[in-house]
């Protein structure tokens, strides 16, 4: 019997296009997936962490002139002088190397032998316009002094005269406050307690006499010492928003001359708008007043600040509380309270103001409407330099705009066609103050917390950042300066933003020997701009999904076609093998179920014999 050999690969079926694509597509997809994974891992290894939108402690700014102690001013002065001397090389010789002046040359001023009698002081300068205006305002006070300070000094032997006029003695008053841990010096504090004990409460005897001496509607404190001395001991009225209210506990009770022991007192800041009557003041001025009282009204106990610092979550920052009182002006003092979480033991960050101190006995809560952003406030706004140290300190319109933004309601009309160049123009910019605009752009790399002084909005801080006028170029000169009250969640550095804000005024910044204009905007919260919100995005998503379904459908069809070709080849190959076996007669095989019947060919006739 002849040995059979089966070689299944001797004859292969022809390779179809489906078989080729079924092998090629998985290879391409696998190569692309592997390349993408390598690129992702390589880029992650080369780059740092994702850019965070945050602030540094050195970025904290203040919207007011900081008040330093005398020691801090001296230290800052010496540091500045040392830095200046290190940067500048003087060409003068040392004093020991200077040549001596000849004997016959007359001495220069200051080089002669000092005389025993000092020179006569220069004559007094005539009063300037500010002092003349203060004298005119003093003549309008008709009610007289309610209480003479000199009559209360008999029981205070260590009393020294007040030195509290501004701006000369701001640092001296701050040094006094720091040395006494936020309080007045003991002689001044004892004097204040004695005066508060003598003030009649509502309904008490001699209350009518006190009310007759209150200067209603005439609230002004001058800069010169003469004006401050003339106001001392007079009674004034204050009605406005309560910015801060807290309790001050003494280390030990202070016994007054009448035997009364004072263990604690209450201190707060009232902010209101008044008519500007002094030299150089705006027509409407924001006025802060520091009040002290020996008693706390029951209606104000829920609003007591029990902490040691101001925070954005204070009750008085969230809800407007208005109070009214009438009291005696004692002196100018410093209000200074740390603002959390920006103030640290290493660096104190405080909300400060140099304010008049009123001693009162009738502090009460009143119901009234909040301060509105009016046209009168907007008309007194003027563009000024960004590097001004008193940036936005006394601008009542700015804090009125913050009060409106703090409510979170966008009740202003947005002018869609107004852009950066309309506001930056000195001619067209003022007409849009207080108007709403639509801003598209890209936010900067970081933001700066800005600490606010006591103000009518009740806010303790805002966040200031730059917003570029381009979605792709952060270095564009067209940039907005944005003050926002709340930080949006999840915002990243250089993220696209889109929001509606109010325009306040222009800020000028010196950059590369040129002045760049930055329109200042006020907004409650900046909103991130997501491109998926566009109405055209669903088309791209649909095309992507259709392409994916088409690719997987084509791959499935290629695999199915390849399987059918393989099955057909195997059946044909088995049919040929059976045909060979049957011809040799070596095996008896059953017919295949799907095989076609084999037609037997007739036997071949033997070849004819050769002749």
Q: Could you tell me which residues come within 8 angstroms of residue 118 by beta carbon, excluding any fewer than 6 positions away?
A: none
**In the chain, what are the domains?**
133-366 (no CATH), 375-532 (2.40.50.140)
Average pLDDT over residues 342-370: 93
Average of per-residue pLDDT across 390-418: 85
How far apart are the C-alpha atoms of 360 and 294, rounded to whole Å?
A: 8
Tens digit of pLDDT for each residue in 166-211? 677 889 999 999 999 999 999 999 999 999 999 999 988 889 999 9
> What pLDDT does 417 receive?
85
CA-CA distance, 245 to 296, in Å (whole number)?
Answer: 10
The 10s digit of each residue's pLDDT in 431-442 is: 899 999 999 888
Does 533 have pLDDT greater than 70? Answer: no
pLDDT at 272: 95
Please provide the DSSP assignment of 190-233 as one string.
HHHHHHHHHSPPTTSTTHHHHHHTEETT-----SSHHHHHHHTT
- For the entire predicted model, the pTM comes to 0.75
Q: Is the sign of the CA dihedral 311, 312, 317, 318 positive or negative?
A: negative
Q: How far is CA 561 from the centre of its chain?
A: 65
φ, ψ of residue 359 to 5 degrees: the values are: -100, 120
Confidence of residue 17 (pLDDT cuts 50, 70, 90): low
Helix (H, G, I), strand (E, B) or coil at 50: coil
| pLDDT (mean) for 438-461 | 92
Residue 566 banded pLDDT, cuts 50, 70, 90: confident
- The 10s digit of each residue's pLDDT in 117-128 is 555 555 655 667
Give percent of the chain above pLDDT 70. 77
Query: What is the C-alpha to C-alpha distance for residues 438 and 419, in angstroms, rounded to an integer?
Result: 8
Q: Decide if 14 contacts 591 (C-beta within 8 A).
A: no
pLDDT at 494: 87
* Range in 198-212, 304-318, 468-482, 554-568 with the lowest mean pLDDT: 554-568
Token duo for residue 264:
């604690």
DSSP per-residue codes, 277-319: -STT--SEEEEEEEEEESS--GGGGGG---SSSB-TT-HHHHS
Please name which of 353, 367, 228 lies closest in space to residue 286, comparing C-alpha atoms.
353
Range name among 5-9, 60-64, 140-144 with the lowest pLDDT average: 5-9
Cα-only R_g, the chain: 44
Mean pLDDT for 500-514 is 80
CB-based burial label for 474 (10 Å; 0-12, 13-18, 19+): middle
Q: Please, is 506 exposed, middle or buried when counting C-beta atoms within 10 Å of its C-beta (0-12, 13-18, 19+)?
A: buried
DSSP string, 442-481: EEEEEEEEEE--S-TT--SEEEEEEEESSSS-TT-S-EEE
What tens digit of pLDDT does each residue of 268-290 get?
Answer: 999 999 998 888 888 999 999 99
> What is the pLDDT, as a whole number, of residue 29?
72
Per-residue pLDDT at 109 exceeds 50: no
Burial class (CB in 10 A: 0-12, 13-18, 19+), 324: middle
Contact yes or no for 439/410 (Cβ under 8 A): no
345-to-338, 340, 349, 350, 449 alpha-carbon distances in Å: 10, 11, 10, 12, 18
Q: Name the DSSP class of 275.
A: E
Q: Kindly state the tokens that stand for 42.
A: 């390589």
User: Above pLDDT 90, what percent of the chain?
Assistant: 38
pLDDT, tens digit, for every residue of 574-591? 887 777 777 776 555 566
Q: Give dist(CA 387, CA 510) in Å, integer.
A: 8
Q: CB–CB of 300/363 below 8 Å?
A: yes
More confident residue, 106 or 544: 544
Q: Give the β-pairing of 436-451 and 496-511.
A: antiparallel
Chain centre distance of CA 100: 61
């Amino acid at each position: 019997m002849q040995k059979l050999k089966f070689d299944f690969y001797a004859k292969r079926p022809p390779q179809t296009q489906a078989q080729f694509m079924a092998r090629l597509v998985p290879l391409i997809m696998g190569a692309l997936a592997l390349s993408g994974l390598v690129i992702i891992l390589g880029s992650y290894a080369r780059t740092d962490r994702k850019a965070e939108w945050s602030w540094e402690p050195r970025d904290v700014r203040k919207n007011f002139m900081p008040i330093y102690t005398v020691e801090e001013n001296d230290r800052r002065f010496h540091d500045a002088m040392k830095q200046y001397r290190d940067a500048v090389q003087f060409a003068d010789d040392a004093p020991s190397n200077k040549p001596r002046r000849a004997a016959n040359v007359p001495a220069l001023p200051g080089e002669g032998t000092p005389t025993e009698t000092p020179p006569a002081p220069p004559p007094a300068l005539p009063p300037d316009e500010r002092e003349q205006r203060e004298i005119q305002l003093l003549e309008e006070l008709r009610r007289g002094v309610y209480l003479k300070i000199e009559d209360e000094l008999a029981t205070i032997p260590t009393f020294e005269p007040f030195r509290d006029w501004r701006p000369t003695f701001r640092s001296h008053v701050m040094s006094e406050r720091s040395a006494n841990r936020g309080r007045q010096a003991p002689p001044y504090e004892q004097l204040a307690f004695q005066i508060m004990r003598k003030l009649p409460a509502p309904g008490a005897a001699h209350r009518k006499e006190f009310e007759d001496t209150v200067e209603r509607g005439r609230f002004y404190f001058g800069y010169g010492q003469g004006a401050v001395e003339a106001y001392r001991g007079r009674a004034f009225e204050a009605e406005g928003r309560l910015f801060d209210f807290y309790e001050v506990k003494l280390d030990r009770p202070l016994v007054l001359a009448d035997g009364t022991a004072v263990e604690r007192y209450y201190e707060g800041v009232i902010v209101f708008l008044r008519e500007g009557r002094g030299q150089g003041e705006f027509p409407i001025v924001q006025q802060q007043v520091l009040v002290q009282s020996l008693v706390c009204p029951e209606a104000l106990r829920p609003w007591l600040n029990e902490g040691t610092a101001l925070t954005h979550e204070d009750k008085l920052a969230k809800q407007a509380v208005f109070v009214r009182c009438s009291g005696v002006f004692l002196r100018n003092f410093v209000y200074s309270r740390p603002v959390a979480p920006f103030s640290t033991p290493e660096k104190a960050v405080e909300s400060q103001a140099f304010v008049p101190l009123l001693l009162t006995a009738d502090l009460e809560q009143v119901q009234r409407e909040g301060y509105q952003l009016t046209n009168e406030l907007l008309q007194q706004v003027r563009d000024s330099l960004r590097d001004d140290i008193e940036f936005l300190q006394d601008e009542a319109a700015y804090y009125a705009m913050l009060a409106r933004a703090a409510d979170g309601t966008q009740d202003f009309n947005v002018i869609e066609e107004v852009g950066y160049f309309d506001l930056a123009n000195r001619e067209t910019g003022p007409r849009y103050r207080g108007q709403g605009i639509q801003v598209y752009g890209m936010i900067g790399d970081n933001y700066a917390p800005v600490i606010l002084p006591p103000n009518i909005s009740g806010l303790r801080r805002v966040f200031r950042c730059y917003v570029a006028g381009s979605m792709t170029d952060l270095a564009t000169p067209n940039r907005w300066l944005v003050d926002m009250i709340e930080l949006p969640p999840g915002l990243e550095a250089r993220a696209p933003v889109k929001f509606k804000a109010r325009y306040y005024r222009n800020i000028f910044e010196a950059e590369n020997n040129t002045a760049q204009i930055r329109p200042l905007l006020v907004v409650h919260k900046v909103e991130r701009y997501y491109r998926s919100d566009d109405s055209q995005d669903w088309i791209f998503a649909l095309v992507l999904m259709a392409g994916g379904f088409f690719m997987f459908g084509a791959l499935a069809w290629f695999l199915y076609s390849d399987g059918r070709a393989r099955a057909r080849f195997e059946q044909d190959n088995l049919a040929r093998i059976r045909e060979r076996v049957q011809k040799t007669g070596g095996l008896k095989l059953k017919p295949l179920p799907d095989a076609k019947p084999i037609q037997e060919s007739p036997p071949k006739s033997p070849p004819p014999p050769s002749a």
